[in-house]
Structure 1
Amino acid sequence: MIRIRTGAPRRALFRARGRARLRTRTGKRVSRLDPPRIRRVLTLGLPAVWGAAAVTYKLVCPLARQDGLEARIITSAVFFAVGAGLILHVRGTLLRELRQLREVAGAAQNALLRPLPPRVEGLTVAAGRLSASRGASVGGDLYEVVATDHGVRIVMGDVRGHGLTAISTAAAVLGSFREAAHEETELPHVLRKLERSLGRHLRERSRAEHPANGAPAPHSPAAEEFVTVLLMEIGPDGGMTALNCGHPWPYRLRGRAEPVSAGEPLPPLGPFPLPVELPLLHCGPLLPGEALALHTDGMEDTRDAAGRFFPLQAALTEAVRVPPVAPQTVIRAVYAQLLRHAGRLPTDDAALLVLRNDRRRVPVQQGETVRRESTMT
């Protein structure tokens, strides 16, 4: 961008614009110094220079036409240098392209499963994830925490399998939740919208895989796709309600980890339609100073070399034994134990989300109490 001072002569302005841009025959403006174009020229030019140097040596240099041992050694050294230069040049080009692809992939993954804010309506939030897909930080696990007019709403889900298809399904569910969490007044309506969005996504995938079919084919991967989902809502008073579609129940953290179970879960989204009635499950209050840990089944299904499952409840209890509960510390401690237990990267995606209630009860003059969102001191 060129900055022109106020009152600068018009001829200087035109000269500056002429130096900055060129106009092609089609009328498109292009930069005189185009970095991608320069990189393309270097990519093609340097190998040509190396090759020209080798051919010139072979045709012009007298040593190249001699049969003596010394001449052969020098010729071999020249061609070795040319070959090494070409290999290093190709390697550098590939590394630059790989770095650019990783940056683009990282930006896309963060847009899908964006980093959570450290605080949401008086709740301190921290999350961690491990992807079983090599080279990816996002897999089939999904989570989100949003502050709405109806309370803080949370989703934790797990798409069957992992890889690119699981990522696309997770994107469909997350996109629907981010919209429905604000628009729908009731949590069951949010779940209905997630079900419709997932069904539409699976139908579109099936049409792309089998254009002749309008619905998922019986033996297509889309027909076997399902998503376990846990929807939770934390009200201003700390009261928790939930809808569970085949997902593991969370743990309440207050000096130890206690499982939160509010009844039998619904079937996962995808293979079967939801029942007509979706009664809310009440999970009790999340008191000030207490925390809630939501997870996917990849945490508890991780095995060690002897085939033993990872003891998630014991790991959470160990992480919160000394108060206060710090969500970020809990995340680091549990994942460190998980990696030590497995001895390698897990074979399934594993996500963990911890929320701590930092609201407190403030007394008023009339003897009543009200809940006000503020930081615990």
Structure 2
Amino acid sequence: MIRIKAGVPHRRRPRNSSRHSRCALTLGLPTAWGAVAVSYKFGCPLAEQHGLGARIVTSAVFFAVGTGLILHVRRTLLRELRQARKVAGAAQSVLLRPLPPRLAGLNVAAAQLSADRGAAIGGDLYEAVATEHGVRVVMGDVRGHGLAATGTAAAVLGSFREAAHDEPELGRVLGRLDRALARHLRERARAEHPSSGVDPDNPVAEEFVTLLLLEIAGDGDVRAINCGHPWPYLLCGQRVVPLSGAEPLPPLGPFPLPANPAATDCGRLHSGESLVLYTDGAEDARDARGRFFSLPQALAAAAREPSASPQAILRTVFTALLHHTGGRPADDIALLVLNNERAQQRAFLGARGTGRAATTHPQPTTNR
């Protein structure tokens, strides 16, 4: 239903007219203040006197004019900064959109901590989508951070959101991401060096992306392809173990991929267990004395909490990270937590169907 507000129709002022009036106001006020100061200096008899009282009055007038000018410029700059941050926040939310709290029976939580002050995202990327092939997840880390890294992350994420649904095999998804990255780097190199007129042979040779592709089937089986990225941690109760110890492939960008990259079987994610994907900024974070942050220790502490939900795990780990680095991480940090709650959901639905409360313990029987 569309609601239309009744009232007297009015003519909308053109956007260009509003912009011109704002610019005129911004330039006109300092000019008016300056004209008042000059007129006072040369036209007011008090300004031509040499007594102490006249000097105090003159200084006060110029001080007031200068203060007003500074306050006006500051107010204008703050207004423009707020507008720029609002636009940047909207663009960042489109690029690294919030993940749904539940995805095909998995409880999901993700967050990122950017090393750039005032930026919500940097060179880290993540996404999780439910497809007919299972829940597919990507976690990546672009070399460096800032606007250039954000553009590269956007190219990889855009390709994953399409390929994750279209390609039946993880290896083919990885091939799509590799081609998208190469195309993006060629276009960026052409934009940075437009005078050549041809595509460079080795565009932006130092750029690369570490990447982890993960697929969780309906029965909990986990398969992954790792391109130079840290392996996730598996939380089994209060135990924290790496998901796999297989040798990863090289990062995307500087080296060609194998012809048919095969996914690694990583076992099964059982009910109640969690996977924690992260970027290397988490384990590379140092304190003032140069000591590295222990991510497994922080995850073990989070798993001991009474409610070890993905959101609680993120909160505990990021609090420990900020405390360890003094609130100033040197690199972008991203974490994504996946908790398997499919068995609990099936038990709950079964209990609703039978009209009884589900229980995980067998009920005692009596012999008659």
- Structure 1 residue 143 corresponds to structure 2 residue 134: no
Partner Cα separation in structure 2 for residue 199 and residue 324 of structure 1: 43
State whether residues 206 and 214 of structure 1, in contact with CA within 8 Å, keep that contact through their aligned partners in structure 2: no
User: What is the match of residue 67 of structure 1?
Assistant: 50
Residue 329 (1) aligns with residue 320 (2):
no
**d(CA) in 1 for partners of 2:116 and 2:219?**
40
SS in 1 for 2:213: strand
CA distance in 1, matches of 2:51, 2:213: 81
1:292 and 2:275 equivalent? yes
Corresponding residue of 2:30 = 47
Question: Would you say 1:154 and 2:134 are equivalent positions?
Answer: no
Q: Does 1:86 align with 2:69?
A: yes
Q: Percent same amino acid among aligned pairs?
A: 62
Which among 171, 177, 182 is matched to residue 188 of structure 1?
A: 171
Report which stretch shifted further, 208-217 or 288-297.
Answer: 208-217
CA displacement 1:176-228 (0-9 Å, x = unmatched): 0011111112211111100111111111122223342745455x6x1121111
Q: Cα gap change, 1:324/1:72 in structure 2, threshold over 3 Å: closer, same or farther?
A: closer
Runs of at least 4 residues off by over 3 Å: 1-5, 33-38, 213-218
Q: What's the C-alpha RMSD, in Å, of the aligned pairs?
A: 2.3
Aligned partners of 2:271 and 2:234: how far apart in 1? 12
Provide, for residues 222-275 of structure 1, a one-character-per-residue CA deviation record: whole Å limited to 9, x for no partner.
112111110001111111111111110001112232111052211111111111
1:273: which partner in 2? 256
Cα offset for 1:284?
Answer: 1.3
Q: What does 1:172-211 correspond to in 2, within 5 Å?
A: 172-211=155-194
Which stretches in structure 2 are left out of the alignment for 5+ residues?
A: 348-359, 361-368
Correspondence for 1:309 among 292, 311, 315: 292
Q: Is the alpha carbon distance of 1:106 and 1:62 closer, same or farther for their aligned partners in structure 2, counting shifts above 3 Å?
A: same
Residue identity in the other structure for 1:238: G
How far residue 305 of structure 1 moved from its aligned partner, in angstroms, is 2.4
Which of 229, 234, 245 is residue 216 of structure 2 equivalent to? 234
Q: What do residues 269-288 of structure 1 show as CA deviations (whole Å, max 9, x unaligned)?
A: 11111112322211111112
Question: 2:355 maps to what in 1?
Answer: none
The counterpart of 2:330, out of the listed 341, 347, 352, is 347
The size of the alignment, in residue pairs, is 343
Question: Bigger shift: 149-158 or 63-72?
Answer: 63-72
1:112 equivalent in structure 2: 95
Counterpart code for 1:188: G
Could you list the runs of 5+ residues in structure 1 that have no partner in the other structure? Answer: 6-15, 23-29, 364-375
The 1:96/1:203 distance shift into structure 2, 3 A limit, reads same
Q: Decide which moves more: 80-89 or 264-273.
A: 264-273
Is the contact made by 1:158 and 1:227 (CA closer than 8 Å) also made in structure 2? yes
CA deviation digits over 1:85-104, x for unaligned, max 9? Answer: 00111111111111111111
Residue type matched to 2:234 in 1?
R
Structure 1 CA distance for aligned equivalents of residues 186 and 103 of structure 2: 35
- For the residue of structure 1 that corresponds to 2:99, the secondary structure is coil
d(CA) in 2 for partners of 1:204, 1:277: 26
SS state at 1:223 partner: coil
Task: Letter of the 1:51 partner, please give it.
Answer: G
Aligned residue for 2:37, secondary structure, equals: helix
Helix, strand or coil at the partner of 1:139: coil
Amino acid at match of 2:186: R
* Deviation digits for residues 121-143 of structure 1 (CA, Å, limit 9, x no counterpart): 12111112112223322111100
Tell me which of 229, 233, 237 is aligned to 1:247: 229
Please tell me the residue identity of whatever aligns with 1:243.
I
Partner of 1:20: 11
With over 3 angstroms needed to count, the CA separation of the structure-2 counterparts of 1:47 and 1:209, relative to structure 1, is closer
* Contact 1:290 1:325 (8 Å CA) reproduced: no
- Structure 2 residue 104 is matched with structure 1 residue 121: yes
